[in-house]
Amino acid sequence: MNIAILGFGTVGTGVYKIIKKANRQTKDLHVKYILIRKNKPETMPEMTDNIDQIVKDDSVDVVVEVIGGIEPAHQYILSALRHKKSVITANKAVIAKYMDEFTNVARENNAKFYFESSVGGGIPWIQGLERALRIDDVDKIQGIFNGTSNYILDRMKKDKKSFDEVLLNAQQLGYAEADPSADIDGYDVANKLCISADIAYNTFISPDDNLPVFGIRNISYEDLVAFGKKNLTVKLLGKSDFHDGKFDYAVEPTLCAATSMEANTPDNFNLISLHGNTVGDLKFMGQGAGQLPTANAVIQDILDILQNKAHLERDFNSGFEYVPNLMKSDYVVRSEMDIRNIFAEYQVEMHGDYFEIKDVPTGEMHQLMAIVLKQDGQAFMASYPKEAREVDSDESSEVRWEFSR
Amino acid sequence: MNIAILGFGTVGTGVYKIIKKANRQTKDLHVKYILIRKNKPETMPEMTDNIDQIVKDDSVDVVVEVIGGIEPAHQYILSALRHKKSVITANKAVIAKYMDEFTNVARENNAKFYFESSVGGGIPWIQGLERALRIDDVDKIQGIFNGTSNYILDRMKKDKKSFDEVLLNAQQLGYAEADPSADIDGYDVANKLCISADIAYNTFISPDDNLPVFGIRNISYEDLVAFGKKNLTVKLLGKSDFHDGKFDYAVEPTLCAATSMEANTPDNFNLISLHGNTVGDLKFMGQGAGQLPTANAVIQDILDILQNKAHLERDFNSGFEYVPNLMKSDYVVRSEMDIRNIFAEYQVEMHGDYFEIKDVPTGEMHQLMAIVLKQDGQAFMASYPKEAREVDSDESSEVRWEFSR
């Protein structure tokens, strides 16, 4: 099986490495091309800067797109599919945006379009979700989808450091990018949750649809201490619930009970969960990024094609509908200003610098919080779901709100 | 696709229920026979007490064995395979004992022998392990493989109750069997770990091979309190490490850091992990038992056969070897007697009623503990791995051993 790798950065190099170290199952994989940028030196015989040479070569079976970004990745993927090549990509941004187009063009050309590595890195999440859907309706997806933000929250708490200190350190170590926005503002999670929801509900939801996304940029070490006193840990979660043909969607900091699996997901790990009507709760934890885990997931997709293990078919015609205010949650907001007039419709309690707001629909909460942010750019919010209040041990149930700095 | 269900208890009924509630992918499944015991009333048209009628019916494609126990399940499975029917079973005891025979007979008859539901219930563990093995060497398996014992340990700690109280309660609720030995003495975990090791190392290891297995029968609430003071939680783990063509194997109570995923696996959930050389750590959590989760896993295997998604082939000829004393760990032992002479070869520290013994090979530890048990039938041991000592927060690192009752 002949493979072309588009892009030879971290993941592309990892794919090449795993294929070269052939085992019994991967020995039939052969890297024929590596697409590099124009004017870069061709240091290996497989290298070319000519995408047409790749897509027009009939001997190429699979194109692995690991360039990243929207263009030219989008056009390269379409071109490969139209030349009846199967495409595997780790590029969550381009998949989330063009999932419907890629799926349709792949079907029209009898090609495969697989993307296990795009969500959860080495975790078999897409495969686990598709497998669950063979039997069950999946009515809940929730997870820690971004390793960088999880690493930052974990180190802040354990090292007693500010957000900025930990971020800078993460950037120096190469765990966070120079422009960290995608990771810390929730857009990376948003893309991964779009991809997951597309599959779970067989409905296309675009990251351009003004979705409720709130990141961790404004969290302080003092917030973590205040939440910790109530045996709560903040995690940046992507989440979606399904109910009667409707689903909601949110990316937001969320208070998790200190004894939950989410709260104890350390370092840069991801933990992604689903609930199905017969299988119940399933949680998948592993390396959500990194060269070899991500490349491993790319190779898994290649092997699925080689071994003719077809993935779930999607047409995005389920008729299920995204409803921003389907679910309600309690929220905690930290703001220097008195926000009670903005949340006048809701029950608001004040605890030191924190407001606890009861039973707010998700979409509504994010809209009102946008108003808060216009006046207080440092304000922070986290959802405070009922599950986080259910604590078993005696000691913790005696602890009351003690927010104050 | 015509299916025969052998046994119509909890899981058999669940399989029937899911098939009857057909969806797009399961609609082609048809239950043709349900095997019931001799002299039981045939209350449904599918029911028969004649196994020969089933195996000799050429229209039967798949036989689902959910009778449990060793015989006649063993003979029924062989008979079905020899009649070229694929067999799916949830019966870990019979698989662990006869994995090599079943695998060989299935291959000779060009039939499938699948058993996803036997380990981890609804968790796609076998599938996840086989998938990891397509690319990686798996050099570590570890997990909470038994929901009943996890439920007992969790309730003891949270409800501050004795082992006997919680066990009785679990039996009344139907979570534990009248004879709880398989669950609490570690034999159920042992079977599941054998099955996992068979696959991971492509070597047959039999549960009859005098393996190191130690259960939780002797744990006291006071033990949990003593360990809790050091921010440790006891979990019954099955574990195996692979190194240079050799692997070890142990089922034993294990001290886990309070912030580990294992320590926070609640109720009757299972959490099973692997480590692969490129994918890193992967953890799978879900319902390890129960009617619908287990039946879900049975149906997943049926769908793999229907959709022609072949599982990993095994011949058990890898040449890898089980070595009882491959790995060392520290152990904690609670005994009324002075055990220092039994562990004379090792460094032993006393802390109240507890002994901490350093760097003992696993197989050796279990042998020496058998000697202790002959004189002190209530003695308890737990392994105390290095990872459990790595605690991040300041507070916990200040806590020293405070074992004393």
Query: Which residue, among B134, B135, B117, has the nearest Cα to B126 in the 3D structure?
Result: B117
> pLDDT (tens digit, 9 = 90+) per residue, A376-394?
999 999 999 999 986 544 4
Residue B366, both tokens: 């279990």
Do A26 and A19 touch, CB atoms closer than 8 A? Answer: yes
User: Which of A134, A166, A281, A317 would best serve as a mutation to test chain B binding (most B beta carbons within 10 A)?
Assistant: A134
- A405 versus B10: the higher-pLDDT residue is B10
Interface of B with A in 236-265 (CB under 8 A): 259-261, 263-265
Rounded to an integer, the average pLDDT of A210-229 is 96
H helix runs in A21-146, sequence order: 51-55, 73-82, 92-108, 125-135
B24-38 residue pLDDT tens: 899 999 999 999 999
Rounded-to-integer distance, Cα B226 and Cα B229, Å: 5
Look at residue A11 and give its three-state secondary structure. helix
> Between B25, B264, B278, which is nearest A260 by CB?
B264
pLDDT of A405 higher than 50? no
Q: Using CB atoms and an 8 Å cut-off, which of residues 146-185 of chain B contact chain A?
A: 158
Considering only CB atoms, A261 lies closest to which of B122, B285, B290, namely B285
- Mean pLDDT to the nearest integer, A227-245: 96
- DSSP characters over B291-346: HHHHHHHHHHHHHHHHTT-PPPP--S-S--EE-TTS-EEEEEEE-SS--TTTTTTS
Asked if A192 is an active-site residue, the reply is yes
Q: Which residues of B329-349 are buried (b: 16+ CB within 10 A; e: fewer)?
A: bbbbbbbeeebeebbeebebe
Distance CA A68, CA B26 (A): 38
**Band of pLDDT at residue A398, cut at 50, 70 and 90:** very low
Residue pair A64/A89 in contact by the 8 Å Cβ criterion = yes
Q: What is the DSSP letter of A128?
A: H
Give mean pLDDT, residues B325-347. 96
Reported residue count of chain A is 405
Over residues B221-236, the pLDDT tens digits come to 999 999 999 999 999 9
Rounded Cα–Cα distance for residues A294 and A14 (Å): 8
- How high is the mean pLDDT of chain B? 94
Task: Tally C-beta pairs within 8 A across A and B.
Answer: 133
Q: Which residues of A touch B293 (CB under 8 A)?
A: 278-280
pLDDT confidence of residue B205: 97
Whether residue B293 and residue A303 make contact (CB cut-off 8 A), yes or no, is no
Cβ contact, residue pair B26, A134, below 8 Å? yes
Looking at beta carbons, which residues of chain A come within 8 Å of B277?
292
CB A218 within 8 A of CB A378: yes
Contact call for residues A65 and A112 (beta carbons, < 8 A)? no
The whole-number average pLDDT for the span A94-98 is 98
Collapse the DSSP code of B401 into the 3-class scheme (helix H, G, I; strand E, B; otherwise coil) and give the result.
Answer: coil
Q: Tell me: pLDDT of B8 over 70.
A: yes
Pairing of strands A348-351, A328-334: unpaired
Phi and psi (nearest 5°) for B359? 55, 55
Residue A404 scores a pLDDT above 60: no
Question: pLDDT tens digit string along B292-322?
Answer: 999 999 999 999 999 999 999 999 999 999 9
A266 vs B contacts (CB less than 8 Å):
259
Cβ–Cβ contact A386 with B under 8 A: no
Q: Give the pLDDT band of residue B390 (cuts 50, 70, 90).
A: low
How far off is chain A from B174, nearest CA to CA, in Å?
Answer: 19
- Do residue B292 and residue A279 have CB atoms under 8 angstroms apart? yes
Q: What is the pLDDT of residues B149-194, one digit of tens each?
A: 999 999 999 999 999 999 999 999 888 888 999 999 999 999 999 9
The string of pLDDT tens digits covering residues A142-183 is: 999 999 999 999 999 999 999 999 999 999 988 888 899 999
Whether residue A400 has pLDDT greater than 90: no
Cβ of A287 within 8 Å of Cβ of B280? The answer is: yes
Q: CA A337, CA A379: separation in Å to the nearest integer?
A: 9
Backbone angles phi, psi at B14, to 5 degrees: -65, -45
**B128/A124 CB distance under 8 A:** yes
**Whole-angstrom distance, CA of residue B252 vs CA of residue B324:** 14
With an 8 Å Cβ cutoff, is B122 touching chain A?
Answer: yes
Closest residue on chain A to B122 (Cα): A279
Report pLDDT for B352: 81
Whole-number pLDDT of residue A294: 97
pLDDT above 80 (res A396): no
Q: Of these residues, B85, B92, B192, B239, which one is catalytic? A: B192
Nearest CA in chain B to A393: B158
Residues in chain A within 8 Å Cβ distance of B283: 283-286
- Residue among A134, A260, A300 whose CB faces B131 most closely: A300
For chain A, list the domains and their CATH numbers.
Answer: 2-114 (3.40.50.720), 142-285+321-405 (3.30.360.10)
Residues of B within 8 A of A288 (CB-CB) are: none
Q: Is B27 on the interface with A (CB under 8 A)?
A: no
| Selection from B404, B321, B401, B329 nearest residue B369 by Cα | B329
- The yes-or-no verdict on residue B5 having pLDDT over 70 is yes
Report ipTM for this prediction.
Answer: 0.95
Which residues from chain B sit within 8 angstroms of residue A131, using beta carbons? 124, 127, 300
Taking contacts as CB-CB distances below 8 angstroms, the residues of chain B near A281 are 269, 285-287
Q: What angle do CA A313, A315, A318 make, to 5 degrees?
A: 110
Q: Tell me what pLDDT residue B391 has.
A: 58
Closest in B23, B135, B281 to A296, CB measured: B135
Concatenate the DSSP letters of all residues of B238-281 into one string.
EEEEEETTEE--EEEEEEEETTSTTTT--TTEEEEEEEETTTEE
Closest CA to A386 of A264, A277, A241, A289: A241
Q: What residues contact residue B95 under an 8 Å CB cut-off, 6+ apart?
A: B89, B102, B115, B118, B191, B195
pLDDT of amino acid B403: 43
Mutate to test the interface with B, among A158, A279, A391, A393 (most CBs of B within 10 A): A279
Q: Among residues 285-314 of chain B, which lie with CB inside 8 Å of chain A?
A: 285-287, 290, 292-293, 295-296, 299-300, 303, 307-310
A24: contact with B, CB 8 A cutoff: no
**pLDDT over 70 at B401, yes or no:** no
Cα distance between residue A164 and residue B247, in whole Å: 45
Confidence tier at A352 by pLDDT (50, 70, 90): confident
The Cα B88–Cα B305 span in angstroms is 10
Looking at this protein, which amino acid is placed at residue A86?
A: S
**What secondary structure letter does DSSP report for B129?**
H
DSSP B38: T
Residues B84-112 pLDDT 10s: 999 999 999 999 999 999 999 999 999 99
